[in-house]
Structure 1
């Protein structure tokens, strides 16, 4: 099988051109076609001579993903099932703004793995096996396709990207960071890193690594409970990454980058929605400079959790707000097409709407 040319670094590609008797500057032209213009074939590279395009095609592949199915929600959300070169499926979501004061906001939610190994009890992806990591190119391809959808459907380009789809981004660290580099580079898609959020279930060692690497993206922690006993029940990763360890790692990240963390907190009915739970969350926010996103739960067939009632949700958020915590309540988007938070599962049975 021919190797995907997009796995070559700029230096490696330049060296290949030299070894094959081609001018080194051609490597930069090819890189621009691959990462800035999102070329899907060597035939598209019109400023290269035909013999060179044929030589590239003989040696390399461009393993671009394709849109297998596309579903449109009543609220404007678009979920895509992307087919990878090896037949595996991942899902990505376009989330347009609802608020009248933020009409230009277009968010892409992208996946980083085929499946997931963390087995979070409330997440559909957690009930899948992890088959493999996505390459940096496969992550960038999702962004390119969702950007195309945004332009075609809403006449607006993407403004934000969240790594909150299938998989744990920090367990695919190298490829995730390379994809961020490609997305933010002037030689790539040219987006600001402050428009990108990497979300993690909580891998303390890799959170520290983000700090050491000076990552400029935003960071979100899927918290969902602010005491270890409850978090152990729904997120087995907490058994090896306790809240104390996470607090230390997040503070290290903050000291290195100056970026305040976001805590993502799903409020489950009769599990983590009491004032005592809110108090524990408030105490945890005092350990780490953070804001809180409270998220509605989106039911899945594999679990029996329920979303809390509106009155309890308001009291929970009010407790934090009264104590000076920055709190946002995130309403579910795309629930009718299983595109909401925690519902992505790469289902081949998805129907085109």
Structure 2
């Protein structure tokens, strides 16, 4: 079968699929049955759609493709984190991570093949952005990681973070549609509040989140609360200054009433002084928020070093004196390059467990 002549069936809305079926001489109500197979049962093979006739299944195979994501390889960290590389229908490869914890099972998913933002401390930022992921490719990562959680830890997936490869807000429509399929009753039916989308800071798209009145959580990768320092490590800040971000966040909060999470890596001798903490505390006054201080995970392409533990503790303590909810997050999966900022398709010494 020449897939270039077929349509990715999961790219269609229910109404579009209904229209295609009618064009093929089939009854429109079949669309709902097919949608249930695709999005509720996560079926990736037309032959398994057992309540459809063989003739209809053959027609579906002739006219449509299911561009399913495949687990390529998986690695298990000493802390039980599982990192997987996934092969896409066109041969591109992305990575996703299962982060197990006593109270939760979290899937960290990618939204792009590579990234265009060139953040200096992030391995993905040194890769080229090849393309955006389709909504079904994001959805498939969730399904496959959920299967790993069940198989390896006998626990259901509880949370999803869009913190893998790529910038979700630069793939806005596919990101939003994937969340719709994950949260809908005719999808995976997960609660939107269990989903967090992390952005490096695209002001106009943060405002669009407000206009769309989203129910999921928003996290901003801040890492510096003055423009000079942030420009140095996150070039995106040159077009999205802290002032424009603060205005966008205020707009977003006014529309959604959702508090925001600020993610902050404390780098040694860069943003780890009391003055840096004071600047961050001032930025936190713009909207109701909390701060997650994240441990830095070294990469070969950059010279950044994590701040000393006592510096991090002092930094967090100051924020708490200002009434800011502050959590210090320890890295997970660092030994297999699965931690925050380390995803870059490394596959040596892999233990396949998928």
TM above 0.5, yes or no, is: yes
Structure 2 counterpart SS, 1:284: helix
Indicate the residue corresponding to 1:25 in structure 2: 29
Cα deviation code 1:113-160 (max 9, x no counterpart): 000000000000000000000000000000000000000011111100
Indicate the residue corresponding to 2:178 in structure 1: 179
Give the whole-Å Cα distance in 2 for the aligned partners of 1:233 and 1:288. Answer: 25
1:349 deviation in Å?
4.2
1:253 deviation in Å?
0.4
Give the whole-Å Cα distance in 1 for the aligned partners of 2:39 and 2:272. Answer: 45
Tell which deviates more after alignment, 284-293 or 156-165: 284-293
Matched, 1:67 2:64: no
Indicate the residue corresponding to 1:77 in structure 2: 81
Indicate the residue corresponding to 2:250 in structure 1: 251
Structure 2 counterpart SS, 1:221: strand
Indicate the residue corresponding to 1:100 in structure 2: none
Contact 1:80 1:91 in 2 (8 A): yes
Matched, 1:42 2:46: yes
Give the whole-Å Cα distance in 2 for the aligned partners of 1:260 and 1:324. Answer: 15
1:348 deviation in Å?
4.7
Cα deviation code 1:41-75 (max 9, x no counterpart): 10010000000000000111100010000000000
Contact 1:69 1:350 in 2 (8 A): no
Cα deviation code 1:152-211 (max 9, x no counterpart): 011111100000000000000000000000000000000000000000000000000000
Give the whole-Å Cα distance in 1 for the aligned partners of 2:69 and 2:348. Answer: 18
Indicate the residue corresponding to 2:333 in structure 1: 334
Matched, 1:238 2:242: no
Indicate the residue corresponding to 2:299 in structure 1: 300
Give the whole-Å Cα distance in 2 for the aligned partners of 1:277 and 1:213. Answer: 33
1:17 deviation in Å?
1.0
1:329 deviation in Å?
0.5
Deviation above 4 Å: which 4+ runs of structure 1?
none
Root-mean-square deviation over aligned CA pairs: 0.8
Matched, 1:226 2:237: no
1:346 deviation in Å?
2.3
Matches within 5 A, 1:137-286: 137-286=136-285
Gap regions ≥5 residues in structure 2:
none
Give the TM-score, by structure 2 length: 0.97
Cα 1:350/1:6, change in 2 over 3 Å: farther
Structure 2 counterpart SS, 1:82: strand
Give the whole-Å Cα distance in 2 for the aligned partners of 1:34 and 1:208. Answer: 32
1:20 deviation in Å?
1.2
Cα deviation code 1:305-346 (max 9, x no counterpart): 000111101000000011111000010000000000000012
Cα deviation code 1:249-307 (max 9, x no counterpart): 00100000000000000110110011110010001101222110000000000000000
Structure 2 counterpart SS, 1:336: helix
Give the whole-Å Cα distance in 1 for the aligned partners of 2:11 and 2:46. Answer: 15
Tell which deviates more after alignment, 1-10 or 272-281: 1-10
Q: State the aligned residue count.
A: 348
Structure 2 counterpart SS, 1:281: helix
Cα deviation code 1:69-121 (max 9, x no counterpart): 00000001000000001111000000011xxxxx2400000000000000000
Give the whole-Å Cα distance in 2 for the aligned partners of 1:89 and 1:214. Answer: 32
Contact 1:251 1:288 in 2 (8 A): yes
Contact 1:104 1:156 in 2 (8 A): no
Give the whole-Å Cα distance in 2 for the aligned partners of 1:338 and 1:266. Answer: 17
Structure 1 counterpart SS, 2:98: strand
Indicate the residue corresponding to 2:288 in structure 1: 289
Cα 1:138/1:145, change in 2 over 3 Å: same
Indicate the residue corresponding to 2:115 in structure 1: 116
Give the TM-score, by structure 1 length: 0.97
